[in-house]
Chain A
Amino acid sequence: MPIKEVGGINTALPDAATQLEIYRRMTLIAQNDEASRKVIRTGRLLMPYYSPRGQEAIPSAISVNLNKDDTICTIYRGIHDMLAKGVPLNDLWAELAGRSNGTCKGKGGPMHITHPASGAMLTTGIVGSSMPIANGLAWAAKMDGSRRVSIAYFGDGASNIGAFHESLNLASIWKLPVIFVCQNNLFAEHTRYEKATSVDRISKRAIGYAMPGVTVNGNDPFEIYAAAHEAITRARSGEGPTLIEALTFRFHGHVFGDADKYIPKEEKDAAIAKDPVPIFRAKLIADGIATEAELTDMEAKIDTEIEAAIAYALASPLPDPADLLDDVYAVRGAVA
């Protein structure tokens, strides 16, 4: 199967309304990230935080192609994937704050955000484990005879773990309606891509698993949209999985508190200069899709929603220790 470097040629273009929606999701993610780091820095909330800042375009441009009952599985750097899929801000923040009315009753936290109503079926803290389970969701969709698809989000580091290889192989032979989306931000924890990975483009591994593989510019919503549209169409029509590699960069290191000294400053500065959020914003205005005033208004509303969600979370009740034993089993105390 030939490798397509998608650049400049779009087989599917998002219309004006969709472009605006992509931007809304991107700026929601970026603004939420800003608020998250501030909330930790000022001591309002303590939580492990894996910033997705820099990677906004990827889930935003993919998720506009998805229905509510399409599913996603992601990993600990997954808040952007969750927000793009439609997990409500209030429920998300209440979970980050460990409240009883969080998505997971405070029992999962940021590394396990789950919201089935929006198709957000899994966040896992284990690198690579989103893929075997996304396969299972796709397998169920196939057995149902439905046209649902599932997205497995993961990073460049995960492309070297066993679960990646087992999952791509199985998805290929069973023609599962799953799309493997590798958000390649060039660093796996503190280790550079080149030192850890045997191939220069992860999408080339698709050949080994007899599926289409494509590398896209993870900062370009149109490129991502086109690749996602094609992959999702393939999956819905029963033709099986696709591997999409989106090249991106994370602006704030591995985890909040990481001084990221292992990233050369020039490299980081160059990546930040290509920040996809303001670049796409400027493009929307230049293309006449939206005005400065409209976008400023949208962003102000988002800031208000985020602030309200944080306040809601911090005012929400903490779980009752008496609830500790709930949800281990279907029946409380089934194994005492």
Chain B
Amino acid sequence: MTKMSMIQALNEGIAESMASDPKVVVLGEDVGDNEEGGIVGVTRGLSTRFGENRVWSTPISEQAIMGAAIGAAISGYKPVAEIMLMNFTAVCMDMIFNHAAKLRYMSGGQTSVPLVVRMMTGSGIASGGQHSDFLETWFAHSPGLKVVAPSNPADAKGLMLSAIADPDPVIFIECTRLYGMQGEVPDSIEPIPIGKAQVARAGTDVTIVSHSEIVNRALKAAEALEAEGISAEVVDLRSISPWDKEAVCASARKTGRLLVAHEAVRNFGPGAEIAATVQEELFGQLKAPVRRLAAPFTPVPFSKVLETHHLVQVEDVIDAARSLAKEG
């Protein structure tokens, strides 16, 4: 076990994959060591260790970055492309959605696109409306893509190993607020299967299902609720598409009360899909309707007081879970 930051864990996941598979290559803006190894240093040391034939700093050209990754993937490479901010995927959505997601299908299985697109996002750092959005549902709504979002360093490394090895295109969401998080990472970590959730905290009265940094808020909320005599189970999805329906339903069946908490805006967010599925499976077995806690339907505002109000806070999770525990 080694304690490390999420940045280090991500870096190790990429480095180990590059060491074991010469077809893994990295590209994106500022990823090389001449450019400081990434805007927050996730790719630091890779170009020095593996050479510039495997780590390519690009111009600010999201369509070109994704197209290069797709063409190389079709040719047998395993590109790890970085789109610096999740909001910038909008610039290359044609490449991601019309091409990476669909080439296997439209070619009848003749070509495939085993790439990873890494991106950072998250509110709370005063970046405002175009640098903070959680857009996982755009990609979860796209047949052909997989979407993962780790909540801690160990999962970040385990999911990175799986994502890079995966034969399909994987969207890898890194929350800005998690980059500095310290966590224990096993020295010899197994890849985490995409599609497997983890019960981060066991409980009996209410289930809180979440992903990415909101999991940490849910865990803090569960601590506080314990003191009030409410036992909350926290399920960390880890993977948004595919997501672990069995684990979520098993937990909801056990507690009878499900709260989905996520950073993305409420309307048509991941909570909508989870709630619809759980009520299909467990209608009549739940003690209360499935509840969703999410950001209000606005862009992320700049001013601190507005931004804080917009982002799901620990107190919001406590209030929502307590209220759900009392329903029915």
Contact = CB atoms under 8 A, between A and B. Distances in A.
A135 B107 contact: no
B112 A330 contact: yes
Q: Which residue of B54, B76, B77 has the most chain A CB atoms within 10 A of its CB atom?
A: B77
A133 B99 contact: yes
A222 to B, nearest CB: 31
Contact of B105 (A122, A126, A137, A328): A328
A330 B74 contact: no
Given A132-B68, A136-B67, A137-B71, A334 B242 contact: yes
A112 B106 contact: yes
Contact of A133 (B53, B70, B105, B167): B70
Contacts of A133: 67, 70-71, 74, 95, 99
B2 interface: no
Contact of A108 (B63, B75, B107, B144): B107
A124 B108 contact: no
A108 B53 CA distance: 34
B106 A132 contact: no
Given A140-B76, A166-B62, 19 more contacts: A73-B71, A104-B108, A107-B106, A107-B108, A114-B108, A114-B111, A121-B71, A122-B74, A122-B111, A129-B67, A133-B95, A136-B67, A136-B69, A137-B75, A140-B72, A169-B61, A327-B107, A327-B108, A329-B167
Contacts of A270: none
A139 interface: yes
A246 B283 CA distance: 64
Contacts of B95: 129, 132-133
Contacts of B72: 136-137, 139-140, 143
Given A136-B71, A136-B73, A143 B25 contact: yes
Interface in B139-154: 143-144, 146
Interface string B47-71: 0000001101011011110111111
A157 interface: no
A105 B63 contact: no
A134 B71 CA distance: 6
A126 B93 CA distance: 12
A48 interface: no
A116 B111 CA distance: 8
Chain A to chain B: the 5 pairs with minimum beta-carbon distance, closest first: A136-B71, A132-B67, A105-B108, A140-B75, A104-B108
A244 to B, nearest CB: 19
A122 B66 CA distance: 15
Given A163-B63, A169-B64, A170-B64, A136 B108 contact: no
Interface in B14-53: 25, 53
Contacts of A102: 108
B298 interface: no
Q: Which residue of A73, A112, A125 has the most chain B CB atoms within 10 A of its CB atom?
A: A112
B94 A106 contact: no
Interface residues of A, number: 48
B58 A170 contact: yes
A167 to B, nearest CB: 6
A102 B144 CA distance: 21
Contacts of B144: 328-329
B241 interface: yes
Interface of A: 73, 102-108, 112, 114-116, 121-122, 124-126, 129, 131-141, 143-144, 150, 162-163, 166-167, 169-170, 173-174, 326-330, 334-336
Contacts of B25: 143
Q: Which residue of B67, B70, B75, B146 has the most chain A CB atoms within 10 A of its CB atom?
A: B67
Contacts of B168: 329-330, 334
A106 B108 CA distance: 7
A269 B297 CA distance: 57
Interface in B214-243: 241-242
Nearest to B69: A136
Contacts of A121: 71, 74, 111
B64 A334 contact: no
A104 B74 contact: no
Nearest to B71: A136
Nearest to B245: A336
B108 A103 contact: yes
B104 interface: yes
A103 B107 CA distance: 7
25 contacts: A73-B71, A108-B108, A114-B106, A125-B98, A131-B67, A132-B95, A133-B67, A133-B74, A133-B95, A135-B68, A136-B75, A137-B72, A137-B74, A140-B74, A143-B72, A163-B67, A166-B62, A167-B64, A170-B58, A174-B56, A328-B105, A328-B143, A328-B144, A330-B112, A334-B242
A334 to B, nearest CB: 6
A126 B67 contact: no
A120 to B, nearest CB: 10
Contacts of B71: 73, 121, 132-140, 150
Contacts of A136: 67-75
B242 A335 contact: yes
Contact of B63 (A104, A106, A138, A166): A166
Q: Which residue of A103, A131, A140 has the most chain B CB atoms within 10 A of its CB atom?
A: A140
B103 interface: yes
Contacts of B67: 129, 131-133, 135-136, 163, 166-167
Contacts of B328: none
B188 interface: no
Nearest to A106: B108
A143 B108 contact: no
